[in-house]
């Protein structure tokens, strides 16, 4: 592990890795030199896209968006993408980050704060695999390979549900017998790093009652009161809440019982169905890309229209519910790929919120009670990594 004084550490770089199902985003940061110990300066960023596909690509960009590296080739896995990323960083003189920060979707009931990856933390993460069998194993694999590639760089884990540990019992408890709560079957919530970054950026301009909507291939909505999460749409796993690209969102539990009985689906079969074949894709003949759905809608496709309407209506329902929970709404923030780039979805959501003082006309986020903001998960991770390196 890296041994250094805080002053030396602050001058060193931090590499953060944000892995998705078929992508690996990264950012390389250094400490701000203006005395602001709470911020980081981006040196390089980029992503490996289309992992596992023949049309995969690796791109690295400078802070102003200039493409420094563009390589198109097949990357078999996340770890293969990581090796190619390390090669590109080395070619540009960045071989020794002080720390490597890993976004981990779920850490189970015993890992709810961002922290250094000690042997004990690693064991707890391995013991929590059953809470997120699709997410934790590849995260562990990436952590192992990053430790080999980057040597003595300090490994740090940033949990995507840490932001939601402030939720009160009325939100965290599921209506199940107490023994399940004791075993960690609770509402965890996700997209926490995205929501943390919004709280940080808004700063003193964050009002008392806000709703954040992170809309993308994975989507969730969060009620934020006084800068803290008090409820969120995702629950035990990232499958719950609003319908998503390929995930079902909330379902009547009886639907699962019906499928088990009529189609003899086991846990693995249900998991595949709920995470890979539902949501927008289930409603629109396999299409989950919002831009492609918009093109189909423009040509009169009824299935695409229904899919987007179901998605937008679900988001609007959560916004209304959280406004009721907080006794009003001062600010609605859209973020994530769809939230930032689909004016049509924002308009559909805002179109039914006039009773909250939000109209479809302000869905561009330029004024009023509606804002459109970029999620800065990598930057938020870098902040946490620096704080932990500095011993805070």
Kind and range of the H or E run holding 43: strand 40-49
Q: Where are the beta strands (DSSP E) in 56-203?
A: 57-61, 67-72, 99-104, 115-116, 154-159
Average pLDDT for 13-25: 89
Highest mean pLDDT, choosing among 2-16, 126-140, 215-229: 215-229
What's the pTM? 0.93
Is 160 designated active site?
Answer: yes
Higher pLDDT, 73 or 347: 347
Considering the domain delimited by 6-159, tell me its CATH architecture.
Answer: 2-Layer Sandwich (3.30)
Q: According to the model, what pLDDT value does residue 147 have?
A: 94
- Kindly list the domain boundaries of the chain, sorted by start residue: 6-159, 204-372
Least trusted range by pLDDT, from 3-12, 23-32, 52-61, 266-275: 3-12
Rounded to an integer, what distance in angstroms lies between the CA atom of residue 53 and that of residue 183? 39
Which residue in the list 160, 250, 301, 361 is annotated as catalytic? 160
Average pLDDT for 24-52: 86
The DSSP code sequence of 210-250 is: EEEEE-SSS-EEEEEETTEEEEES--SSTTSSS--SS---S
- 6-159 and 204-372 share one CATH topology? yes
Q: According to the model, what pLDDT value does residue 54 have?
A: 87
Q: According to the model, what pLDDT value does residue 363 have?
A: 83
- Name the DSSP class of 117: -
Which of 193, 116, 112, 114 is CA-nearest to residue 153? 116
Q: According to the model, what pLDDT value does residue 35 have?
A: 58
Pick the CATH number of 204-372 from 3.30.365.10, 3.30.160.340, 3.40.50.880, 3.30.420.40: 3.30.420.40
- Provide Rg for the chain, Cα atoms: 21
Q: For the sheet containing 209-214, what is the strand order? A: 228-232, 220-225, 209-214, 331-335, 370-372
Kind and range of the H or E run holding 81: helix 78-91
């Amino acid at each position: 592990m890296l041994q250094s004084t805080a002053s030396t550490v602050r001058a060193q770089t931090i590499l953060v890795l944000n892995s998705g199902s078929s992508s690996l985003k990264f950012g390389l940061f250094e400490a701000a030199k203006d005395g602001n110990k709470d911020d980081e300066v981006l040196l390089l960023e980029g992503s490996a896209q289309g992992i596992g596909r023949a049309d995969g690509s690796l791109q690295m960009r400078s802070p102003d968006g200039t493409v420094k590296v563009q390589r198109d080739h097949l990357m078999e896995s996340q770890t293969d993408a990581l090796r190619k990323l390390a090669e590109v960083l080395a070619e540009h003189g960045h071989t020794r980050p002080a720390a490597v920060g890993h976004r981990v979707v779920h850490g189970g009931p015993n890992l709810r704060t961002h922290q250094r990856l000690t042997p004990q933390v690693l064991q707890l993460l391995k013991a929590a695999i059953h809470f997120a069998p699709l997410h934790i194993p590849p995260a562990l694999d990436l952590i192992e390979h990053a430790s080999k590639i980057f040597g003595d760089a300090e490994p740090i884990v940033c949990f995507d549900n840490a932001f939601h540990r402030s939720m009160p019992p009325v939100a965290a408890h599921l209506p199940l017998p107490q023994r399940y709560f004791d075993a960690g079957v609770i509402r965890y919530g996700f997209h926490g790093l995205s929501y943390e970054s919004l709280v940080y950026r808004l700063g003193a301009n964050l009002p008392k009652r806000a709703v954040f909507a992170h809309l993308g291939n994975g989507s969730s909505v969060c009620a934020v009161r006084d800068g803290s999460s008090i409820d969120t749409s995702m629950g035990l796993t990232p499958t719950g809440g609003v319908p998503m690209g390929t995930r079902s969102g909330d379902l009547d539990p009886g639907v699962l019982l019906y499928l088990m009985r009529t189609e003899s689906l086991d846990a693995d079969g249900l998991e595949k169905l709920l995470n890979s074949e539902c949501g927008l894709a289930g409603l629109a003949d396999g299409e989950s890309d919002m831009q492609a759905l918009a093109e189909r809608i423009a040509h009169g496709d009824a299935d695409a229209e229904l899919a987007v309407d179901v998605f937008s209506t679900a988001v609007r329902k959560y916004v209304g519910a959280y406004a009721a929970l907080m006794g009003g709404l001062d600010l609605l923030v859209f973020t994530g790929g769809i939230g930032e780039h689909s004016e049509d979805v924002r308009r559909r959501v805002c179109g039914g919120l006039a009773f909250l003082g939000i109209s479809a006309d302000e869905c561009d986020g330029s004024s009023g009670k509606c804002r459109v903001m970029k999620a800065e998960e990598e930057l938020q991770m870098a902040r946490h990594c620096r704080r932990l390196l500095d011993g805070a």
